[in-house]
Amino acid sequence: MSVAVSKAPVTFSLPIRQRLFGRTEWIAFGLVVGIVLAATPICSLAVPFSSPFYLSTYALTLVGKIMCYALVALSLDLVWGYCGVLSLGHGLFFALGGYAMGMYLMRSIGLDGVYHSPLPDFMVFLDWKALPWFWQGSEHFLYALLLIIIVPGAVAWTFGFFTFRSRVKGVYLSIMTQAMTFAAMLLFYRNETGFGGNNGFTDFKRILGFPIAAPGTRVCLFLLTFLVLAGSFLLCRFLVKSKLGRVVTAIRDTESRLMFLGYNPLGYKLFVWTLSAVLCGIAGALYVPQVGIINPSEMSPTNSIEMAIWVAVGGRGTLLGPILGAFLVNGAKSFLTVSFAEYWLFFLGAVFVIVPIYLPRGVIGLFRSTRK
């Protein structure tokens, strides 16, 4: 005698409030966004220089730069903290986005350059007669935006497709990502590639017709960076709380069991990996006009290792932790490189050793454990 047993279908859907935040968290998030949007222009433009609330151009640029780093840490946490793929090559995607923006900024200089030529100054110096084919259209801002998204995404998808399909994982994958970044750095150092060699791009004049060094332009770039960081955080939060996020987390924990249940991890890995690269490229594009330079040193393997340190310090697999880690580590770097420049690398090495041993869940994990 057989008895039919009905099983309720398993659903991964959650209420939208649970996917993102509770009511209190939404209010706190809105307050932070509102305060930054309201206070930054006032403190930078309307407050007199003698006021303690005055925000200097240096401080504005420094915080804007760290927010770009925070976006990089957020994108790396998406693949490392939730998908279990430790990338030591995200500096490549960051630099590709920066170079795409730098090409537009170099074309915007026009005849105001040192050599008064429609070609970028470094091309005139190297006796180039015409723009290379891959520079065509870079004078248009919308075309530059497409490059910022497409180039890092295409490179990441191509690399990820062959490595994930071959089931390369663990330390081998990390080494391959670092090798890819190092090879790209050596390529960009060559003058004949058409990207300025070891000097890269610098001496920018305008963006969208506005003087790039003007206080109002810097405030707009700062606010745009903050909004992109906040929007990216919400996007990543939504993804990791969705069905896709659950599958990605399962890939990190037990990929073989997930495959036994009928899921193919390749598509999920490719999506998260490519999205992470695109976010990293956007961070690089926001970084360049604020800092004023982009060169192959941004692809240095050391930079990619530092990105992993930001995530580890803040707490991987938390989204908010990597943002906090980027601010903590880079804030300490700004202080130590000025006051104790010769000890900065020792501090960084100590963080790299101490955090995995004594703070495996990062600062966010420490904070959560003290609340229990």
Q: What is the 3-state secondary structure (H, E, C) of 63-118?
A: HHHHHHHHHHHHHHHHHHCCCCCCCCCHHHHHHHHHHHHHHHHHHHHHHHCCCCCC
Q: How many domains in the chain?
A: 1
Q: Quick one: average pLDDT of 66-78?
A: 96
Is the residue at 74 inside a domain?
yes
* CB-count burial class (<10 Å; 0-12, 13-18, 19+) for 112: exposed
Q: Quick one: average pLDDT of 135-158?
A: 95
284 closest CA partner among 93, 98, 71: 98
Number of Cβ within 10 Å of residue 173's Cβ equals 21
Give the position of tokens 């960084």.
348
Is the residue at 237 inside a domain?
yes
The answer to whether 19 and 236 have CB atoms below 8 angstroms apart is no
State the Cα torsion 82-88-92-95 to the nearest 10°: 80
The answer to whether 73 and 257 have CB atoms below 8 angstroms apart is no
Is the residue at 279 inside a domain?
yes
Is the residue at 32 inside a domain?
no
Number of Cβ within 10 Å of residue 348's Cβ equals 17
- Coarse DSSP helix, strand, coil percentages of the chain, rounded to the nearest 5 percent: 70, 0, 25
Distance CA 202, CA 209 (A): 17
Least confident of 112-116, 198-202, 289-293: 112-116
What global pTM score does this model have? 0.88
DSSP string, 26-69: HHHHHHHHHHHHHHHHIIIIIS-TTSTT---HHHHHHHHHHHHH
Is the residue at 241 inside a domain?
yes
Least confident of 56-60, 299-303, 323-327: 56-60
Range of the domain at 174: 57-298
Is the residue at 190 inside a domain?
yes
pLDDT at 15: 41
Is the residue at 372 inside a domain?
no
Confidence at 4, pLDDT banded by 50, 70, 90:
very low
User: Could you give phi then psi for residue 362, rounded to 5 degrees?
Assistant: 75, -170
Is the residue at 42 inside a domain?
no
Least confident of 171-175, 351-355, 365-369: 365-369
The pLDDT of residue 339 is above 90: no
Structure tokens at 161: 């497709």
Task: For helices 265-291 and 141-165, give the axis angle rounded to 10 degrees.
Answer: 140
